[in-house]
Amino acid sequence: MSHFGGQIIVLRGKFGQCRFVGEFEKLNRIGEGTYDRARDTRSNEIVALKKMRMEKEKDGMPISGVREIMMLKSCSHENIVKLKEVVVVMEYCEQDLASLLDNMQTPFMENQVKCIMIQLFKGLEYLHSKEIVHRDLKVSNLLLNNKGMMKIADFGLARELGYPLSPTTPQVVTLWYRAPELLFQAPIQTTAIDMWASGCIMGELLLHRPLLPGKSEINQIELIINLLGTPNENIWSDFATLPATQNFTLKEQPYNNLKAKFPKLSTSGQRLLNFLFMYDPKRRATASECLQSTYFKEQPFPCDPKLMPTFPQHRNHQKAPPAIQVPQQYPQMVNRNPHDMAKPSLTELLAMSSNM
- If DSSP states are collapsed to H, E and C, what string results for the chain? CEEECCEEEEEECCCCEEEEHHHEEEEEECCCCCEEEEEECCCCCEEEEECCCCCCCCCCCCHHHHHHHHHHHCCCCCCECCEEEECCEEECCCEEHHHHHHHCCCCCCHHHHHHHHHHHHHHHHHHHHCCEECCCCCHHHEEECCCCCEEECCCCCCEECCCCCCCCCCCCCCHHHCCHHHHCCCCCCCCHHHHHHHHHHHHHHHHCCCCCCCCCHHHHHHHHHHHHCCCCCCCCCCHHHCHHHHCCCCCCCCCCCHHHHCCCCCHHHHHHHHHHCCCCCCCCCCHHHHHCCHHHHCCCCCCCHHHCCCCCCHHHCCCCCCCCCCCCCCHHHHCCCHHHCCCCCHHHHHHHHHCC
Q: How far, in Å, CA of 217 to CA of 119, rounded?
A: 30
Q: Is 238 a catalytic residue?
A: no
Q: State yes or no: cis peptide before 164, omega within 30 of 0.
A: yes
* Pairs from 69-72 (Cβ < 8 Å, separation ≥ 24): 71/132, 71/155, 71/158, 71/160, 72/155
Residue of 136, 154, 194, 304 marked active site: 136
8 A C-beta contact, residue 24 and residue 41: yes
Residues tagged active-site? 136
